[in-house]
Amino acid sequence: MSTYILAFDKPKQLGTTTIFSIGKWKTFWGLPISPNILTIWYRAIHHKLPNKSLLHNIIPDTFPSAACIHCPQMENTLQQFLYDYPVKQSIWIQCLSTFFPDVLIEPGRILAILLSLEYGESQNKKSTVTTSLSSVSIVVCILLGIWRSHWKLGF
């Protein structure tokens, strides 16, 4: 039986999904961003990106461990998958600091943007390095790079 069928054969409660206002969703879907990046981001918002913890919860026979492939002593949760891993944190901070050298990059701020669409004052901020990219565009490009890199390296 395929893994896909196993995953949906027995529905399981996998936690809560994020609920946004209609206006917030309109803003999200109206962002000038590639649909493939929006899909990754949408799945992150709903805590449905396929990380080891989620897959272990859905299909434990196929994924007997929720441990990270790079750091086996850590569970590969959504936060760890997106940001809360030393190498990924460095990527986020280095990239954002390069494009926004005048902005203090706080780790919690990045997760707030990714998972709750809380941009704060940075929503309409333009990079001082390149005037054609907004902060949101840069954040989603980093997200896509981390996503692609993760899938090239392991699973």
Domain limits for position 105: 33-153
- CA 115 – CA 125 distance, rounded (Å): 19
Task: Using only the alpha carbons of the chain, give its radius of gyration.
Answer: 17
**Residue 17 lies inside a defined structural domain of this protein:** no
Q: Please count the structural domains in the chain.
A: 1
**Residue 21 lies inside a defined structural domain of this protein:** no
**Residue 40 lies inside a defined structural domain of this protein:** yes
Would you say 33 and 134 are in contact if contact means Cβ atoms under 8 Å apart? no
**Residue 6 lies inside a defined structural domain of this protein:** no
The pLDDT profile of the chain, 155 residues, written as one tens digit per residue, is 454 444 444 444 444 455 678 888 888 888 888 888 889 888 888 888 888 888 888 999 998 888 887 778 888 888 888 888 888 888 888 888 888 777 777 777 777 778 777 765 555 566 667 667 777 788 888 888 888 887 777 65
**Residue 37 lies inside a defined structural domain of this protein:** yes
DSSP 8-state symbol, 121 = G
DSSP 8-state symbol, 17 = P
**Residue 13 lies inside a defined structural domain of this protein:** no
**Residue 20 lies inside a defined structural domain of this protein:** no
Sign of the alpha-carbon torsion through 150, 96, 93, 51? negative
